[in-house]
Amino acid sequence: MAAPVDKVDLQARKRAAKIIHEKFKGVLKDVLSGKPPRLIIPKRTLANTRFDPEKGILVMGEDVIERELLNMGEARRFMQTLLMASIIYQALIENEYPTIRDLYYRGKHTIVYRDLRGRKRQENTWEEQKESDAAIRDVEVYTGLLREEMLILSKEKGKVVGRMKIRSGGDVIDLSRMGHGAYAIESTPDLIEILDVDAEFVLVVEKDAVFQQLHRVKFWDKYRAILITGAGQPDRATRRFVHRLHYEHNLPVYVLTDSDPYGWYIYSVYKVGSITLSYESERLATPPARFLGVSMTDVFGYGRKKRPWLSERERKNFIIKAKDKDIRRARELLRYPWFQVPEWKREIAIFLRKKAKLEIEAMASKGLRFLAFEYIPRKIETGDWIV
Amino acid sequence: MAAPVDKVDLQARKRAAKIIHEKFKGVLKDVLSGKPPRLIIPKRTLANTRFDPEKGILVMGEDVIERELLNMGEARRFMQTLLMASIIYQALIENEYPTIRDLYYRGKHTIVYRDLRGRKRQENTWEEQKESDAAIRDVEVYTGLLREEMLILSKEKGKVVGRMKIRSGGDVIDLSRMGHGAYAIESTPDLIEILDVDAEFVLVVEKDAVFQQLHRVKFWDKYRAILITGAGQPDRATRRFVHRLHYEHNLPVYVLTDSDPYGWYIYSVYKVGSITLSYESERLATPPARFLGVSMTDVFGYGRKKRPWLSERERKNFIIKAKDKDIRRARELLRYPWFQVPEWKREIAIFLRKKAKLEIEAMASKGLRFLAFEYIPRKIETGDWIV
């Protein structure tokens, strides 16, 4: 009945279990010494999220919340955090690989108790996954362990191919020998050992279908690259993998998205992190990531300084009218500190003036070879990107 | 500038280009001989979709539509189909790999013309991708070529690991050496050469996170299996890949979904196909696919004949109340011909009586080993599935 146990996984388990144990011992000590038990946890709120201009990422501020068992307003959250920590600890020592959804189920039950007047009452540990997910995040910030380090799995959609090898779960995998398919990145990217990088840069593509196109013409082989897609809004594992490639292997990272506020936001998540996960930016974000395109100046040109990549006629056929939602989002982006550079202000200004957007696929429809062997390499060569 | 050309791809290209050429030559002949050009295309409508009980799949009926250029009501669709065919043909002979989105862009332009009274008029070839996608389907049914056979790519999310090797794009890939990650199935699964199958069955899992869990404990290795996920509603490539494993390698296919009408529908798509793609069922569907669970009788038992897998207390914690939408969908499923077997009628009846559903994750929360090494294998061993 025993499952094979992977050595790398086992080490990660032991480490995480030990840290959880240490961190929560304090609570037990409080109880034993008669003190009201409490947890001091950094606040995961928008108000306590700020942009650190030096690091170039979103970080948590200094505000903390004190969760006390004997405080009516905090008792429920206190119990939830402790419950979640104990379930995760249990899963770690029992060689389990829970998903965030089954952590919800593992902890879901009804507590029946009698109140001060002796009346029978009941309460559920949590009602929705939103609550159990928040408890997971509390455990993450309290212990400093990412959920990936606690061997918690979740749905992943990132893919990679390119000139490198990795070791994962005891296997050595050559990412340059994936055929027309790709390697689907695992939930625990820190357990991947990066073995052999024979590449000069990383190209992150927003869209899966465009990733497949570039893969078919072996873009990554010709230009010595690692090709990655997060298939839209990237998950944590994809961001962490990109981060590792940049910081551990010194590879510049280029991001290719649609030319619209949604694409810019996706770039921004790779670059500085996201608000809900600001406590993880340090490990997930890649501030030096370069926005390769498609830029508004690629589409419309820029005065006499830059000729557009599209003809008048192509623009007419390819451009999509921006929606109100796009305009609102663009105005929001304009306020983000990391977009306070002339190039980004220009991008957003052109968008707001033209009220037009463009998809990468429009570039591919000029010919896949145009996209793969002209547009992308020439932009990289000439340094035509935005940081 | 030339991209490396893959031999297998090249053969596929030549074949598809030839068929398109042959098929549309007739239209040209009509024009040259002064006849009004027309296309006779099977109707892709709900009314012309029926269940073939012998084959066990959804098929197109006998109704055809005649698209004539000189018929005002049909001229636009006629032109669109011809335009799409010519774009696809062009892409084939130019070694392109268009996506369905860039086919839309490739054909999108405005035709300016003068009407009978000499007034200048203009019309767009198509306004939305819905129209160009319909034109792709018309080309598919008219030529008998699937879009995959015409080297058209699209977003794919299917993953596979297990005891087999494949050849794709010149590479031999060992799907039992994917580490904790997985092999992401390509858009053109017919170009995959299945080399070496050392498995006894295929297990298709609805959810990506559950796939990852089973993969971590090497379920596929212990039980000699191929493990696949379509990550929700499966795309065409995943369904085709499952189909090929069953028919070319004689492997029984088990499908594991949530215990709810949405999960049953996903099973049904693997099994009989879908209405919009009924012209492809023959190549995409796997009628002998077995529904392994989670079944309503697994949850609630069945009189004295079957004990449930969950205790009273677990049911209380794990069960989710069905929504009105679920109830409506269940009533619809009750009318599908392929659910007209006692076991399925019982499943749906229990659901409608209990108005309750259950996710696979609830089973995993009893312990991943319970799911992987007890529930699934015992159900397979004892033949506790539904066809």
Tell me whether residues B216 and A97 touch, CB distance under 8 A: yes
- For residue A256, the cross-strand partners are A205, A293
B4 falls in which pLDDT band (50, 70, 90)?
Answer: low
Q: Which amino acid is at B326?
A: D
The DSSP 8-state label assigned to residue A260 in this structure reads S
- Chain A residues in contact with B186 by the CB 8 A cut-off are 179-182, 212
Q: Are A165 and A173 in contact (CB under 8 A)?
A: yes
Mean pLDDT along residues A37-62? 89
Mean pLDDT along residues B140-167? 95
Residue of chain B minimizing CA distance to A237: B181
Dump pLDDT digits (tens) for B88-141: 999 999 999 999 999 999 999 888 888 889 899 888 899 999 999 999 999 999
Q: Which value, in Å, is the radius of gyration of the alpha carbons in chain A? A: 24
Tell me whether residues A183 and B188 touch, CB distance under 8 A: no
Q: For tokens 């992977």, what's the residue?
A: A6
Position A26 pLDDT exceeds 70: yes
Phi-psi region of A218 (alpha: psi -120 to 50; beta: other; left: phi over 0): left
Tell me whether residues B157 and A218 touch, CB distance under 8 A: no
Which one, of A375, A198, A223, A197, lies nearest residue A295 by Cα? A375
Quick count: other Cβ atoms within 10 Å of Cβ A136?
22
- Would you call A116 exposed, middle or buried from its count of C-beta atoms within 10 A (0-12, 13-18, 19+)? exposed
* A302 classed as catalytic: no
Element housing A346 (H / E): helix A342-354
Mean pLDDT along residues B132-155? 94
The shortest CB-CB distance from B179 to any of A110, A186, A372 is to: A186
Residue A385: C-alpha distances to residues A255, A292, A346, A376 (Å): 9, 5, 13, 10
At residue A228, the pLDDT reads: 98
User: Which residues are CB-contacts of A43 (< 8 A; sequence separation ≥ 6)?
Assistant: A60, A61, A63, A64, A65
SS3 track for chain B: CCCCCCHHHHHHHHHHHHHHHHHHHHHHHHHHCCCCCEEEEECCCCCCEEEECCCCEEEECCCEEEEECCCHHHHHHHHHHHHHHHHHHHHHHCCCCCEHHHHHHHHCCEEEEECCCCCEEEEECCCCHHHHHHHHHHHHHHHCCCHHHHCCECCCCCEEEECEEEEECCEEEECCCCCCCEEECCCCHHHCEEEEECCCEEEEECCHHHHHHHHHCCHHHHCCEEEEECCCCCCHHHHHHHHHHHHHHCCCEEEECCECHHHHHHHHHHHHCCCCCHHHHHHHCCCCCEEEECCHHHHHCECCCECCCCCHHHHHHHCEECCHHHHHHHHHHCCCHHHCCHHHHHHHHHHHHHCEEECHHHHHHCCHHHHHHHHHHHHHHCCCCEC
Position A1 pLDDT exceeds 70: no
Tell me whether residues A209 and B178 touch, CB distance under 8 A: no
Retrieve residue A171's tokens.
């296997």
Mean pLDDT along residues B32-37? 85
B1 falls in which pLDDT band (50, 70, 90)?
Answer: very low
The shortest CB-CB distance from B183 to any of A184, A218, A365 is to: A184
Position A2 pLDDT exceeds 70: no
From B89, B97, B105, B254, active-site residue: B105
From A105, A267, A270, A302, active-site residue: A105
B36 falls in which pLDDT band (50, 70, 90)?
Answer: confident
d(CA A309, CA B137): 32
User: The complex's ipTM?
Assistant: 0.93
At residue A111, the pLDDT reads: 86
Q: What are phi and psi of B121, to 5 degrees?
A: -135, 165
- Chain A residues in contact with B189 by the CB 8 A cut-off are none
B3 falls in which pLDDT band (50, 70, 90)?
Answer: low
How high is the mean pLDDT of chain A?
A: 93
Residue B387: C-alpha distances to residues B57, B226, B363 (Å): 13, 19, 22
Mean pLDDT along residues B246-252? 97
Residue B79: C-alpha distances to residues B44, B111, B180, B355, B364 (Å): 18, 11, 49, 50, 53
Residue of chain B minimizing CA distance to A167: B179
Tell me whether residues A368 and B218 touch, CB distance under 8 A: no
d(CA B288, CA B387): 6
Q: Are B193 and B168 in contact (CB under 8 A)?
A: yes
Mean pLDDT along residues A262-289? 92
Q: Are A175 and A162 in contact (CB under 8 A)?
A: yes
B383 falls in which pLDDT band (50, 70, 90)?
Answer: very high
* Residue to substitute from A95, A99, A176, A178, interface B, most B β-carbons within 10 A: A99
B69 falls in which pLDDT band (50, 70, 90)?
Answer: confident
User: ω into residue B294 within 30 of 0, thus cis?
Assistant: yes
User: Which residues are CB-contacts of A311 (< 8 A; sequence separation ≥ 6)?
Assistant: none
Q: Are B238 and B185 in contact (CB under 8 A)?
A: yes
Dump pLDDT digits (tens) for B331-344: 999 999 999 999 99
* Residue to substitute from A83, A211, A216, interface B, most B β-carbons within 10 A: A216
At residue B359, the pLDDT reads: 95
A75 falls in which pLDDT band (50, 70, 90)?
Answer: confident
Total number of residues shown for chain A: 387
Tell me whether residues B317 and A216 touch, CB distance under 8 A: no
Q: Are A120 and A160 in contact (CB under 8 A)?
A: no
Dump pLDDT digits (tens) for B179-207: 999 999 999 999 999 999 999 999 999 99
